[in-house]
Chains A and B, each alone.
Chain A
Amino acid sequence: MINLEVRIPDTPGCLIELIKPISNNGGNIFGILHHHDKKINNMIPVNISFELNEELREKKLENIKQELRKSQIQIDNINLGIEQNNFIVILTGHVFDTDVVDTIKRLALKEIKVSELEAKFTEISEVSDVKFKFNFPESFTKEDVITEINKICQEKDLILIRS
């Protein structure tokens, strides 16, 4: 879910200018919140939450931003939502023997945090499969995170299965 914080002039028709670019770009709007109580200089802060098709998300979000700017709507903040910054990979190989704690710590140093871990193995010295759920900051793309995990996987000879 994407959450957009904007400021729009308190004049008729302005809300339409906010909604149009979102729906033009295939956005599915979930909610709009007006903060009339926080009106300053005839500008009302508005929060709008919507979802965009995963595949063309970045491109469409860029279109929306451009169109909003053209309509003179000021964007204060964009929150790309938790789903965007949270994903799963499976590592196969000697995940434990190659020091899983070290793996987790090294990723944490890069601000990639393991939020969940589930392992399946027959014996600790055997090949295991481990599912990791990661959280990472908004400034990162999924590919940035994959690059970091990949570096460790290559060094520790682990197989990375990603989405």
Chain B
Amino acid sequence: MFIKIGLIGKGNVGSCFLELLKIKKNYLNKKLNLKYKVIAIYEYDGALINEKGIDIDEILLLRNNFRSHKDWKENVKAIDSISNLNLDVCIDTTPTNPNTGEPALSHIFKALNNNINVISSSKGPFYLKYKEIHDLAKLKNLLVKYEATVASNVPILSIKDSLKGNEIISIKAILNGTSNYILSRMSSEGVAFSVALKEAQELGYAEADPTLDIEGYDAAGKLVILANELFCWSKTIKEVKIKGISKITQHAIELAKSEGLIIKHLAIAEKGTLIVEPRLIEKDSPLNIEGTLNVIELQTTYSGPIIIMGRGAGGYEAGSAILNDLISIHRIINNIK
């Protein structure tokens, strides 16, 4: 049996995922008995559709000229079309409007309402409507996976399965690479906030409008998803107390340093509360990571601290998290141990 896939969004993450599907095809087929067909690849202005399966190699070779492929259909929208293709899994990799969660939110509801399992790298829907999405999936007996939404391929959502015999007390994390890059540069090189931000933009770490990163909204969204997942909460981003880093000065960093401390933009979940704010940490704390890395420290009852760190962004990083989610879905729907 083939798993029929619909991919929405062929940007950085979507394209890297397709490439990984190609690279790992043999492994998926032979080792995992996972046979797939990509039936549709949607963009905002049309879609590649082939019910027998799109030739991924051809699409990857065409790069940004994929609209010239014979399977391209102008003006076909995912929201109108996914219900007609008998898909098993719908993968959303569109950019999210942070206030509405769209277009991913509608894609997810549409897929679930039409009995299609969901994988998403778009986080908006999960920090805005976590409970609603899970309730619908449960009602429909479907799977929803979104490992890529928090720290990409750092397996922090799925760590839950490995900690069933333990108890998580608190989460402390650095979940936004841009703000961590800025604070790291301010601490190590003594540059001003504005200079570090400009550097981050030039290096492609920060968006032209960096507000969501530096004011903590991006980290807050990820924290909501992480805490909901690990603590079985149903919170939304409205419940996070958020403070940004744009007012952190070089002077504050120097004062902290004189005490062996460092300022980091931490995302914290404990005792029912969610906080994103600049905090003082010990210089030798495992949370003192440099550059654009992400780190998550779980305080547990029976194993003390558990720390996991890695690259929190990047097309292949997110693409491989999506592929892992696809493998999990394959295992569950085909009852493979």
CA distance A161 to B255 in the complex (A): 11
Given contacts A159-B247, A161-B280, contact A88 B261 (CB under 8 A): yes
Interface check A90, CB cutoff 8 A: yes
Docked pose: A128 CA to B256 CA in angstroms: 14
CB pair A53 B279 closer than 8 Å? no
Which A residues touch B256, using CB under 8 A? 90, 131, 161
B256 closest partner in A (C-beta): A90
Out of A55, A118, A162, name the residue touching B255 (CB < 8 Å): A118
In the bound assembly, the distance between CA atoms of A159 and B254 in angstroms comes to 16
- Which secondary structure dominates where chain A touches chain B? strand
- B-side interface size class: 20 to 34
Q: With A131-B259, A161-B279 in contact, is A56–B254 under 8 Å at CB? A: no
- Per-residue CB proximity of A78-92 to B under 8 Å, as 1/0? 000000000011101
Q: Is the CB of A53 within 8 A of B254?
A: no
Query: Which residues of B sit under 8 angstroms from A121, Cβ to Cβ?
Result: 251
- Residues of chain B lying within 8 A (CB to CB) of residue A36: none
CB contact between A92 and one of B249, B254, B299 (< 8 Å): that residue: B249
B263 within 8 A of A: yes
Q: Out of B243, B249, B259, which one reaches A88, CB within 8 Å?
A: B259
| B56 contacts chain A at the CB level, 8 A cutoff | no
The residue from B247, B279, B299 contacting A56, defined by CB atoms under 8 A apart: B299
Q: How far is the CA of A132 from the CA of B281 in the complex (A)?
A: 15
A120 at the interface (CB under 8 A from B): yes
Whether A129 lies near B280 (C-beta < 8 A) is no
Expressed in whole angstroms, the minimum distance between the Cβ of A123 and any Cβ of chain B is: 12
Interface mask (A106-137 → B, CB under 8 Å = 1, otherwise 0): 00000000000010110000011111000000
CA distance A120 to B257 in the complex (A): 13
Say which residue of B249, B258, B263, B304 sits within 8 Å of A118 (CB atoms).
B258
Q: Which residue of A lies closest to B305 (CB)?
A: A55
Asked whether any CB of chain A lies closer than 8 Å to the CB of B163, the reply is no
A11 at the interface (CB under 8 A from B): no
B280 and A92 contact, CB distance less than 8 A: no
A-B contact count (CB 8 A): 54
Q: Are B249 and A127 in contact (CB under 8 A)?
A: yes
A130: chain B residues at CB < 8 Å are 255
The tally of residues in A whose CB lies under 8 Å from a CB in B reads 20
Task: Establish whether residues B278 and A161, one from each chain, have CB atoms under 8 Å apart when the complex forms.
Answer: yes
Q: Does B332 contact A (CB under 8 A)?
A: no
Q: Is the CB of B252 within 8 A of A90?
A: yes
In Å, the complex CA distance between A127 and B249 comes to: 10
A159 CB, nearest partner CB in chain B, Å: 6
How many Å from the CB of A119 to the closest CB on chain B? 8
Q: Does B32 contact A (CB under 8 A)?
A: no
**Is A163 touching B281 in the complex (CB atoms < 8 A)?**
yes
Chain A residues near B305: list those with CB within 8 A: 55
User: Once the chains bind, are B255 and A159 in contact (CB under 8 Å)?
Assistant: no
CA A149 – CA B164 in complex, angstroms? 38
- A131's nearest neighbour on chain B, judged by CB, is B255
What are the interface flags for A41-63 relative to B under an 8 Å C-beta threshold, 1 for contact and 0 otherwise?
00000000000010110000000
Asked if B159 lies at the interface with its beta carbon under 8 angstroms from chain A, I say: no
Shortest distance between the CB of B260 and any CB in chain A (Å) = 10
**Residues B278 and A120 in contact, CB atoms below 8 Å apart:** no
Contact residue among A88, A120, A128, A163 (Cβ-Cβ distance under 8 Å from B254): A120
Q: B248: CB under 8 A from chain A?
A: yes
Closest to A130 in B: B255
Q: Mark contacts of A89-104 with chain B using CB atoms, 8 A cut-off: 1 yes-contact digit, 0 otherwise.
A: 1101100000000000
Q: What's the Cα separation between A136 and B263 when bound, in Å?
A: 23
Check A129–B299 contact: CB distance below 8 A. no
Q: Mark B299-311, 1 if CB is under 8 A from A, else 0.
A: 1000011000000
**A90-B243 in contact given A55-B305, A163-B279 (Cβ < 8 Å):** no
Which chain B residues border A53 with CB–CB below 8 Å?
304
B304 and A90 contacting across the interface, CB-CB below 8 Å: no
For the complex formed, measure the closest distance between the CB of A148 and the CB atoms of chain B, giving whole angstroms: 17
Smallest CB–CB gap between B301 and chain A, Å?
8
Which residues on the A side are within 8 Å of B255 (C-beta)? 90, 118, 120, 129-131
Complexed CA–CA distance, A163 and B268 (Å): 12
Q: Are B252 and A56 in contact (CB under 8 A)?
A: no
B residues apposed to A, CB below 8 Å? 169, 243, 247-249, 251-252, 254-256, 258-259, 261, 263, 278-281, 299, 304-305
Q: List 19 A-B contacts (CB under 8 A).
A: A55-B305, A56-B169, A56-B304, A90-B252, A92-B247, A92-B248, A92-B252, A120-B251, A120-B252, A120-B254, A120-B255, A121-B251, A131-B259, A159-B243, A161-B248, A162-B280, A163-B279, A163-B280, A163-B281
Q: A56-B169, A88-B280, A159-B247 are in contact. List 8 more A-B contacts (CB 8 A).
A: A55-B305, A88-B261, A90-B263, A92-B252, A120-B251, A120-B252, A131-B258, A163-B261
